[in-house]
Every structure is written in structure tokens, then in C-alpha cells.
Structure 1
């Protein structure tokens, strides 16, 4: 087993160095897809915020580098590493990762296609990384002056976003569940620019005042889109779609006005009124906690 681990570490380092040659900053990862090096401050009586200013390794994505010497030193300090992470949001690519999950019972690729149709954007040809569970990571390049936040399920059920401060598991990494690879025909591609319409969806909604709040027509348009999203749910995704739509409605200030329509849409997909109202109430509580 030790020999296999050494081989996996050697391969991970080779892949990491190759990624760095293309301008991607990397860190070593364990088989659990976590940063392989623990924080040097974990035993401090009162840990102070540190992003690597102390000069030691173990600061997660803040250790990421494109320098071959530093990368070799990181892997030498973590001989148990079997994979590598690629930091998002850093120059020159300002990488954004769209993680299409398949484990949650949702059809994330279909949800992304729906978003593309509804918001009139086309997904460009770009790097696609395959995961051991059958999921896919789409690599996109963002503008240098925009920090895309990390999110889980905010864009649509089953779609996670890796942005500034996050990282993607690099192709060639070996984990507890298998090996990450590159989809055929995409390994030679650079991360494609993120479509502007998609980029707007990835950013948090701007804070509005009463003077600049959306018009009734805009609210109606938002509400219609959310209702259609719920109506399109198949068995196994009805509750997650309703929860996502209710969260977006409350974030946009139309949750209370849209509740009755959301309940009716959910009932038409097979949920009971009690189930629908409980899900919407959970979304309302979660959204209130985030404010």
C-alpha cells in the first residue's frame, strides 16, 4: 500500500506541475479531497487569522502556487498527498468552476441547460473534468475585476460554484472514490470566458433600496420563471426545485407574494400542500438567517 501511495503522490505532483505550467496555482490534496497539510496554527491557544503570512505551509488554498520549487516543497511536506487542488479566482485565468453533481438525485446538466435557454447564453467549449461519481466540472475564465463567490445549490439544485477562495480537484487526482479525469476532446482547451449572462447569475444580487427596488413587471417576470422551474420538476427533484425557487423568491423580496403560486405549482408535480408549505417555510427561515 505504501508503494501505491508513493506512486499516487508522484503522479499527483507531475499533474500539478503540468497544471502550473499553464498558469494554474495548485496545492496538494489528500484522498478525501481536502488540503493535505494541516494548519500550523491548529494548536495555538488563540489562533489568529493567517493566510500564510507566517511563512509556513498549511493555509489551504492560500498556499497555492505556480512556482515549481514551491510546489515540490509542498508535496515533500505532504508525502501522503494523492491529488492536487487548483485555486480559483487567481490570475491569469481567474478560474470559475461549475460543479454538476449527480449524487443528489437531480439532473444538474439539464438544470444548467434550462438556465442557458431561459437567460439566453450558450455554454462555450471549455475544459471539462470528470469525477469518480459521474459528475462534471466545467472550467470557465472570469474577468479580473470580479470575484465570483462560492455557492452550493444557489444557481440551481445540484449545481455548485467554485470561485474566489475555493479550489477544484485537478484531473489526475486519486481520491477515496476514484480518479478525476478530463473529458475527451477538452484537455487541450483553455478555460473559456464565462458568458456575461451566466456571470450575472453567479454574482450575488445587488442590495437595493426602496427607491431602486424592482418594478412590479420585473417581479412578475421573476415569479413566472420560478413557477415554471418548479413545474418542470420530475420525481426525485420536486422538493429540491421548490426549495431552490422559494429561496430565490425570498432573496428577491417576492417570497410572500409568490407562496400561493409556488404551492399550487408544487401540488401539480405531486407534492402535498403540507409538504410544499413546509419546504417554503424552510426556505424563508434560511433566507432570513443569511440577511
Structure 2
């Protein structure tokens, strides 16, 4: 038994946030998954999910965390929370791609809004959990990348790892201990609104330069505009990097390339600031590493 983890569970429960045990040292909920439910005991009348098992009862919490050094999960829906999960980049992702914090900044810029300061947790990999109180009477669901690349949300049907827990990547620690702020209306609307359809075909600017350069720019911009959700920023980074060599060779003006990819990225649904950051980083890297034309 870990006194530290027991205290973490009791602290969360003391805020009115129902908790569940997570396998020691992991983010996985303890207990059996639905696919292997024995349909006996507490599951005799149907599988009981971790969300349904979550509790604020100090006696049940002491019994569970005295038995094993479980990590602590907070069932966000029953807790009345919506948690914005800002993920850092993975090691295999391209340099210059936006992480969750950058994507959130771009989202705020596009909406002309800002987020209030609120309860905040640093995650094991260096990301952030921003806790907001969910609107009364609404059952917001979890989302993945709906608000932007590397931005997930946890509400009904999900949970977050509570501060005080530790995984092999590091601990979860409180950065700001204030009460969660109410979820801003504009962010709620972004989570519940139907995705906007792209109006009309993408139109590229007329560019000077060789026919090969023009063809490459048009093909790569078309690939960005058609990229499926969840891959758009990666495709933008890769495509801009490919075209950057034509700038290094003098076939295309950098401003024209940036404007073309900016239009393609925004037409695909990426935020303006996110596009600018990715395009500039990709072009900088491509120009810096471009080989002479004769070597290609």
C-alpha cells in the first residue's frame, strides 16, 4: 500500500470527483474489460464500466488502495468535469509539428478568445490537463483531435490520470490548484458544433518558376487539402518540406509557397497559426538541407 497514492485518491474524492483504481504504474483501469466480462458478481446484470464503479466513498477507497498501490483515475463525467488534454509531440513526429499547447493557442487565435486560468496538471510526458466544470445538464462526450492536433477532451465515457499518480514516463503533478473554471461557452460550442464544410474548391495562386516546380506545388497543396482528419498537419509538414527545395533552387518565391500552403492548410480545417508554424518550420528545414540541383 502506498500512503501517497491513497492520499491522492482521497484528495480527489474530497473535491467531489469519483475515482477508480488504475493498474499500478500505468494509465489502464483495473478490473476486466467488457470483452472478457465474466457476467458474475457485480457484473451479473451486465458489465460494470470503470465509470460506473467510480466512487467518492472514503471507506471503499481505503479498502482498494490498501490492497494494492493503484494509480488514481478520475471519472470525468460523474465528476462534472471536462478536461482538455494537451499532448506533447511523440518522438517520431516531424520537427516543427505543433503540440497540443500550440494547437490550443491557434484555436484561441482563430476564435478570438482566451481560456481562463483553471485547475491544471502536468502529465507524465510533459503535457497538460486543464480541468473545467462542465455545463449543468449537458453530457459532453470525450473527443480526440476535434479541437486541434494533439488536443483531446475527457468527459462522459472517459477518465484522466489524477495528480499523485506515476508512470514509467514520470509523475502527474498539480501546477495550479485553484477550483476548475466553468467551461467557456465558445469552447463548448466548438465541441458540439457540426464540422464546417469546405466552401468551394481550393484555388492556388499563379506562380512563376519552372513547370516542374509549379506542378509540385499544386500536387502537394492538393494533398494537404484532401488529407483526412488526424493527418492534416503531418501531411502539411511533409508536403511543404518537399516543395522547399524549389525555393532553394530559385524556381519559386518563398512568399508564394507559404501563401499557397496556408490556403491549402486552412481549407483542410487547420487553424491559421498552426499552418504558419508548420509551414515555416518545414520550409526552413528543407531550404537548409536542400542538395544542389545536379545532385538530385
Do the two structures share a fold, i.e. TM-score over 0.5? yes
Paired position in structure 1 for 2:62: 72
Aligned to 1:60: 50
Q: Which among 30, 36, 51 is matched to residue 30 of structure 2? A: 36
Per-residue CA distance 1:187-236 (angstroms, 9 max, x = gap): 1x11100111111112242xxxxxxxxxxxxxxxxxxxxxxxxxxxxxxx
Aligned to 2:282: none
CA apart distance, 1:114: 2.4
Q: Does 1:252 align with 2:196?
A: yes
Change (3 A) 1:152 1:26: same
Residue of structure 2 in register with 1:248 after alignment: none
TM-superposed deviation, 1:283: 1.6
* Worse-matched range after superposition: 67-76 or 120-129: 67-76
| 1:208-227 equivalence runs, <5 A | none
Match of 2:100 among 94, 99, 108: 108
1:203 aligns with 2:192: yes
Number of residue pairs aligned between Structure 1 and Structure 2: 215
Contact kept, 8 Å, 2:149 with 2:230, in 1: the verdict is: no
Contact 1:150 1:161 in 2 (8 A): yes
Equivalent residue number for residue 24 of structure 1: 17
DSSP-derived class of the 2:152 partner: strand
Task: Give the match's secondary structure for 1:27.
Answer: strand
**Contact 1:37/1:57 (8 A) holds in 2:** no
Gap regions ≥5 residues in structure 2? 91-96, 208-215, 232-296
Classify the secondary structure of the residue corresponding to 1:283.
Answer: coil
Cα deviations across residues 155-214 of structure 1 (Å, max 9, x unaligned)? 01111111111111101101121110011xx11x11100111111112242xxxxxxxxx
Q: 1:62 Cα deviation (Å)? A: 1.8
**Are residue 155 (structure 1) and residue 147 (structure 2) matched?**
yes
**Deviation, structure 1 residue 29:** 1.1
Q: 1:89 Cα deviation (Å)?
A: 2.1
Do the aligned residues in 1 keep the contact of 2:37 with 2:43 (CA within 8 Å)? no
2:119 is matched with which residue? 127
For 1:267, the equivalent position in structure 2 comes to none
SS at match of 1:61: helix
Could you report, residue by residue, the CA deviation over 1:75-102 in whole angstroms, capped at 9, with x for unpaired residues? 356x152x111111225xx101111111
Q: Give the whole-Å Cα distance in 2 for the aligned partners of 1:18 and 1:57.
A: 28
Call closer, same or farther: CA 1:20–1:55 in 2, change over 3 Å.
farther
How many angstroms apart in 2 are the aligned matches of 1:162 and 1:18? Answer: 20
Q: Does 1:283 align with 2:271?
A: no
SS class of match (2:145): strand
Offset at 1:254?
A: 2.6
- The answer to whether the Cα contact below 8 Å between 1:57 and 1:63 also exists between their aligned partners in 2 is no
- Normalising to structure 1: TM-score of the pair? 0.64
Give the counterpart of 1:95 among 78, 81, 92.
81
RMSD over aligned Cα atoms: 3.3
Task: Give the distance between the partners of 2:37 and 2:44, measured in 1 at CA.
Answer: 15
TM-score by length of 2: 0.63
Question: Is the CA contact 1:28–1:35 (under 8 Å) kept in the aligned structure 2?
Answer: yes
Q: Which has the larger radius of gyration?
A: 2
What are the superposed Cα offsets for residues 233-276 of structure 1, whole Å, 9 maximum, x if unpaired?
xxxxxxxxxxxxxxxxxx43336x244469x9xxxxxx954444
- Structure 1 pair 80–284 and aligned structure 2 pair: CA distance change class (3 A): closer
Residue 117 of structure 2 aligns to a residue in which SS? coil
